[in-house]
Amino acid sequence: MIKAFIFDVDGTIVDTKQLHINSWVRAFREFGIDMSAEKIRSQLGRRATEIAKTLLPKERLNDAASIAEKKKLIYQEYYPQARLIPMTKELFALLRKDNIKIALATSAARIDAEFYINNFSLKNHIDALVTAEDVRFSKPHPEIFLKAAVQLRVKPNESVAVGDSPYDMASAKNAGMLAIGVLTGGYPRKELKDAGAHRVYQDIQDLYKHLEEISKNF
């Protein structure tokens, strides 16, 4: 029986993919590094410091924390351009109607998550929040989804995790949860399936329409 849905945030319920890419490009450039958008795109869904470490050449690894911090500050300039993906609140309301708990589990900074929650009036729709500052390990490690389950007081096998990246899918699978992918983060369907997605939908609206089939196959 499903008792909880745990959602990734960026790219899943908030349309921010290009905003993050732009922020990373600018942050790297301020450190004298020209980083392609494509390389950055392939890493979205992980914690900022891990993204920086992966993309930097070995001789610049000491700059990873500073570049990640710079990216965080630059990204805040893009806050006004962030948009809630259609039907997110309607999906949350439908889940609540069925007494299903809701958590957000994001690799983003808490300041970003709290902005989304306040700006899009999500506070009354969610029961728990886990951010980058709350975990030691980045996705695809299962820690972030497991911590969300603990906060919700549900078991992993009673939980559905929804995300837009292969890192989300692998993290959910490693946590023992049902992984559901959406294509709004730009990753191909096959990549999400290969990483562990049980089902892949176009977006949150498509998931909303097919919510019953997830319950039947749980």
pLDDT in tens, 146-205: 999 999 999 999 999 999 999 999 999 999 999 999 999 989 999 999 999 999 999 999
DSSP SS3 for 175: helix
DSSP SS3 for 35: coil
Alpha carbon distance 10, 17 (integer Å): 7
pLDDT digits over 125-140, tens only?
999 999 999 999 999 9
pLDDT digits over 32-41, tens only?
999 999 999 9
The one-character DSSP state at 46 is B
Domains of the chain in sequence order: 4-15+82-216 (3.40.50.1000), 17-80 (1.10.150)
Q: How does the average pLDDT of the chain come out, rounded? A: 96
- The pTM for the full model equals 0.92
pLDDT at 217: 65
pLDDT band of 45, cuts 50, 70, 90: confident
